[in-house]
A and B are shown apart, each in its own frame.
Chain A
Amino acid sequence: MSETSEFPIRVRGLKNVFGDHVVHEGLDLEVRKGEIIGVVGGSGTGKSVLMRSIIGLQVPAEGEIEVLGSKITDARDDEDIDIRSRWGVLFQGGALFSTLTVAENVEVPLREFYPEIKDELRHEIARYKVLLSGLPANATGKYPSELSGGMKKRAGLARALALDPELLFLDEPTAGLDPIGAAAFDQLILGLQQTLDLTVFLITHDLDTLYEICDRVAVLADRKVIACGTIPELLALDHPWIQEYFNGPRGRAAQSAKHRNDTRADAAGSSAPAPLDETAQEQQEG
């Protein structure tokens, strides 16, 4: 675990084809270490397919994908196990194992990769990860079917963080959450990213999430990443989809919300949010 390249994720010339439907062609993307990159694009532009390709669930037709210094595209199953312990994935619905409790879900990767960890320590790890993900303590022994949608996502996040990964993949983390829950989840991700020094690959439709926590945004359209940069950089481009996306009614609302929040924060004299203070608040909220 020594190689600390500047780009934990590199995608070059990616091509994905389903039947005769070409999803990606000549797609390039580089994710910098320690950033939160947001991936946006219209429905059906292959955001999830891109993520699945990067984490090795989808074998691309062409192209090269390098994650944490090793090539996913050439790796055999048993070889990339080492990389799998260095990333965490949160699927859209949480994808929790329904016959295990929340804490046991968190323990699954620990058991898998580090069987030498004894029960006592493993239970302790599961318990604090549950709290770190902003769940209340009494969710520890509950089954996924007893949790609300937002809590399922947090439980999924706890499982994704089980091994203290360097890379975190999130597929629409705030979809289906109420605005308050979504904002809290944004802050949770930001806090965890700062505390745990994560690189976050985030697929989202949520403009507020983009404005609040993303360092850079990659725009997927026409089968490739047409632009990648900070939001002001993207706004300077005159691609019609980007303009419509960020300057449409919802885009402008999110923009002004961000502006309001910033001015209020400046007035209060606090600039950057303190990492992980948010989790404490969310425990009360959850």
Chain B
Amino acid sequence: MRALTDFTIASDDPSSGTNGGATLAFSGPMTVASLGAIDARIRHISDPLSQIDMTGVTRIDTVGAWVAWHLAQRTGARIVNCKPEAERLIAAIRKADDNRESVRADRLPLFERVPAVIGDTVIGLANGGLQVLGFLGLYVQACWSLLRRPSTFRTKALIHQMELVGVNALGIIALMSFLVGIVIAQQGAVQLRQFGAEIYTVNLVGRLTLRELGILMTAIMVAGRSGSAFAAQLGTMKLTEEVDAMRTIGVSPMEALVIPRILATMIMMPLLGIYSSFLGIIGGAFLSSLTLGIPFFTFLARIQEVVPLHDVWVGLVKGPVFGLIVAVSGCYQGLQVRNNAEEVGTRTTAAVVMAIFMVIVLDAFFAVFFTEIGWG
């Protein structure tokens, strides 16, 4: 149990020469460890004081000096009987007394804050949209200047990113797609059985995975794996001034960092999408052979007959577009990081959310578009 500060107030004694007002005497240690409990009581003292007696103070630090000095300022009392140590600290505190700044900018009241946040968000979205467009423009420009000077292209960085984005994702995408294929086949079979049309499970699995699910699930997985990694990497490089260092050396961050990442994602995404579709079909075939009585290779042969070739094209066309969206939002958000470590986190989240949202919006657009042009 640590010792605490205490105080007593002795009322006015005419003989002591204190004219009008009591004497407050502190006792015990006056340190940061001992003052917390008693501070509220000291603040509530309303009696007029003429003296603050420090005789009984055993130890004092700047917090004790501050409390005594603050009380003296408030009540107009004099501080008496200080030990030299207390004298020195109070003198130091007196010089550091005029800070009226608030510790953190005050928050607006709720009825102002809510509209302010909504307004900021709307303006932020509009500006963000424009800035993403601007970023895309910069990217195209950088690609153009790269085309004119192809020798500056960073093949190694591209290959490295292709490995990170594509090759390292093979395992998780295979597992995910295989399971999704099983789920589609199983659920589809349950519904189709009601019409005695279980054989159409093959069409369902084949067309759904190749047209939609293979590439969509892959895009979501890549957004979570690589889009977030781009944002966090570039954001941290921005914070540690690596990006600025590159610029001063004459290396364009666009060429060195952004182009390899975007290109790698655009190249790998259709490949991963097709791979995912195949694994989905295998999953479906696996389940069908187990529960529907359709042999594994018969299922695969049927796929060839019932899935039109344009379904494969639909999946392949979407691939690079989704790759572009995922990589651009990752790189863009990463390069927007400023000031502090928290930004890296919020920007990474924003990159993933933006990528997945845009992918789904564009997927809806593609679905309508391809049906309209007769690839239904």
- As a 0/1 sequence over residues 91 to 130 of chain B, the CB contacts with chain A under 8 angstroms (1 = contact) are 1110111111111110000000000000000000000000
Q: What's the least CB distance linking A84 to chain B, in Å?
A: 13
Q: A138-B101, A141-B104, A143-B340 are in contact. Are A121 and B91 (CB under 8 A)?
A: no
Q: Tell me, yes or no, whether A242 is within 8 Å of chain B by CB.
A: no
- As a 0/1 sequence over residues 78 to 93 of chain B, the CB contacts with chain A under 8 angstroms (1 = contact) are 0000000100110111
Q: What's the least CB distance linking A70 to chain B, in Å?
A: 16
- Find B105's partner among A99, A141, A145, A276 (CB 8 Å cutoff): A141
Stretch from B45-53, B61-69, B204-212, B251-259 forming part of the interface with A: B61-69
Size of the chain B interface, CB-CB below 8 angstroms: 38
Question: What separation, in Å, do the CA atoms of A1 and B70 have in the docked complex?
Answer: 26
Q: Tell me, yes or no, whether B302 is within 8 Å of chain A by CB.
A: no
Asked whether B341 lies within 8 Å of A99 as measured between CB atoms, the reply is yes
- Find A137's partner among B32, B85, B98, B338 (CB 8 Å cutoff): B98
Asked whether A124 lies within 8 Å of B66 as measured between CB atoms, the reply is yes
Asked whether A276 lies within 8 Å of B95 as measured between CB atoms, the reply is yes
Asked whether A128 lies within 8 Å of B99 as measured between CB atoms, the reply is yes
Q: A107-B103, A120-B43, A141-B101 are in contact. Are A132 and B96 (CB under 8 A)?
A: yes
Residues of B within 8 A of A127 (CB): 99-101, 103
- Find B63's partner among A116, A125, A280 (CB 8 Å cutoff): A125
- Find A141's partner among B91, B97, B103 (CB 8 Å cutoff): B103
Q: Tell me, yes or no, whether B306 is within 8 Å of chain A by CB.
A: no
Q: What's the least CB distance linking B110 to chain A, in Å?
A: 20
Question: What separation, in Å, do the CA atoms of A144 and B343 have in the docked complex?
Answer: 14
Q: Tell me, yes or no, whether A28 is within 8 Å of chain B by CB.
A: no
Asked whether B36 lies within 8 Å of A116 as measured between CB atoms, the reply is yes
Q: What's the least CB distance linking B94 to chain A, in Å?
A: 10
Q: What's the least CB distance linking B35 to chain A, in Å?
A: 7
Question: What separation, in Å, do the CA atoms of A138 and B102 have in the docked complex?
Answer: 9
Q: Tell me, yes or no, whether B339 is within 8 Å of chain A by CB.
A: yes
Q: A121-B67, A125-B66, A164-B61 are in contact. Are A276 and B91 (CB under 8 A)?
A: yes
Asked whether B102 lies within 8 Å of A99 as measured between CB atoms, the reply is no
Question: What separation, in Å, do the CA atoms of A143 and B105 have in the docked complex?
Answer: 11
Question: What separation, in Å, do the CA atoms of A141 and B173 have in the docked complex?
Answer: 48
Asked whether B339 lies within 8 Å of A275 as measured between CB atoms, the reply is no
Asked whether A99 lies within 8 Å of B36 as measured between CB atoms, the reply is no
Interface residues of A in 125-173 (CB under 8 A from B): 125-132, 137-138, 140-141, 143-145, 163-164
Asked whether B96 lies within 8 Å of A121 as measured between CB atoms, the reply is no
Q: Tell me, yes or no, whether B364 is within 8 Å of chain A by CB.
A: no
Q: Tell me, yes or no, whether B13 is within 8 Å of chain A by CB.
A: no
Closest to A120 in B: B43
Question: What separation, in Å, do the CA atoms of A101 and B101 have in the docked complex?
Answer: 12
Q: What's the least CB distance linking A47 to chain B, in Å?
A: 23
Residues of B within 8 A of A125 (CB): 32, 63, 66
Closest to B39 in A: A121
Q: What's the least CB distance linking B28 to chain A, in Å?
A: 13
Q: Tell me, yes or no, whether B342 is within 8 Å of chain A by CB.
A: yes
Interface residues of A in 80-110 (CB under 8 A from B): 85, 98-99, 101, 103-104, 107, 110
Asked whether B92 lies within 8 Å of A164 as measured between CB atoms, the reply is no
- Find B85's partner among A129, A197, A280 (CB 8 Å cutoff): A197
Q: Tell me, yes or no, whether A257 is within 8 Å of chain B by CB.
A: no
Asked whether A126 lies within 8 Å of B88 as measured between CB atoms, the reply is no
Q: A116-B37, A127-B99, A140-B103 are in contact. Are A275 and B341 (CB under 8 A)?
A: no
- As a 0/1 sequence over residues 174 to 213 of chain B, the CB contacts with chain A under 8 angstroms (1 = contact) are 0000000000000000000000000000000000000000
- Find B103's partner among A98, A101, A113, A279 (CB 8 Å cutoff): A101
Q: Tell me, yes or no, whether B1 is within 8 Å of chain A by CB.
A: no
Question: What separation, in Å, do the CA atoms of A110 and B61 have in the docked complex?
Answer: 14
Q: Tell me, yes or no, whether A118 is within 8 Å of chain B by CB.
A: yes
Asked whether B35 lies within 8 Å of A195 as measured between CB atoms, the reply is no
Query: Looking at B2, B40, B101, which has the most chain A CB atoms within 10 Å of its CB?
Result: B101
Q: Tell me, yes or no, whether A57 is within 8 Å of chain B by CB.
A: no
Closest to B34 in A: A114
Asked whether B92 lies within 8 Å of A130 as measured between CB atoms, the reply is no
Q: Tell me, yes or no, whether B362 is within 8 Å of chain A by CB.
A: no
Closest to B66 in A: A128
Q: Tell me, yes or no, whether A75 is within 8 Å of chain B by CB.
A: no
Asked whether A124 lies within 8 Å of B92 as measured between CB atoms, the reply is no
Asked whether B70 lies within 8 Å of A124 as measured between CB atoms, the reply is yes
Interface residues of A in 5-55 (CB under 8 A from B): none
Asked whether A132 lies within 8 Å of B92 as measured between CB atoms, the reply is yes
Q: Tell me, yes or no, whether B33 is within 8 Å of chain A by CB.
A: yes
Asked whether A137 lies within 8 Å of B101 as measured between CB atoms, the reply is yes
Asked whether B62 lies within 8 Å of A280 as measured between CB atoms, the reply is no
Q: A128-B66, A128-B93, A195-B92 are in contact. Are A99 and B104 (CB under 8 A)?
A: no
Q: Tell me, yes or no, whether B31 is within 8 Å of chain A by CB.
A: yes
Residues of A within 8 A of B92 (CB): 132, 195, 275-276
Asked whether B103 lies within 8 Å of A121 as measured between CB atoms, the reply is no
Asked whether A114 lies within 8 Å of B33 as measured between CB atoms, the reply is yes
Question: What separation, in Å, do the CA atoms of A125 and B65 have in the docked complex?
Answer: 11
- Find B339's partner among A120, A145, A279 (CB 8 Å cutoff): A145
Question: What separation, in Å, do the CA atoms of A113 and B2 have in the docked complex?
Answer: 13
Question: What separation, in Å, do the CA atoms of A12 and B355 have in the docked complex?
Answer: 58
Q: What's the least CB distance linking A193 to chain B, in Å?
A: 12
Question: What separation, in Å, do the CA atoms of A132 and B338 have in the docked complex?
Answer: 30
Q: Tell me, yes or no, whether A265 is within 8 Å of chain B by CB.
A: no
Question: What separation, in Å, do the CA atoms of A282 and B341 have in the docked complex?
Answer: 30
Closest to B89 in A: A195
- Find B36's partner among A121, A137, A138, A275 (CB 8 Å cutoff): A121
Residues of A within 8 A of B102 (CB): 123, 140-141
Question: What separation, in Å, do the CA atoms of A118 and B37 have in the docked complex?
Answer: 9
Given A132-B62, A164-B62, list of 9 further CB < 8 A pairs?
Answer: A99-B341, A114-B33, A121-B36, A124-B66, A127-B100, A130-B99, A140-B101, A195-B89, A197-B85
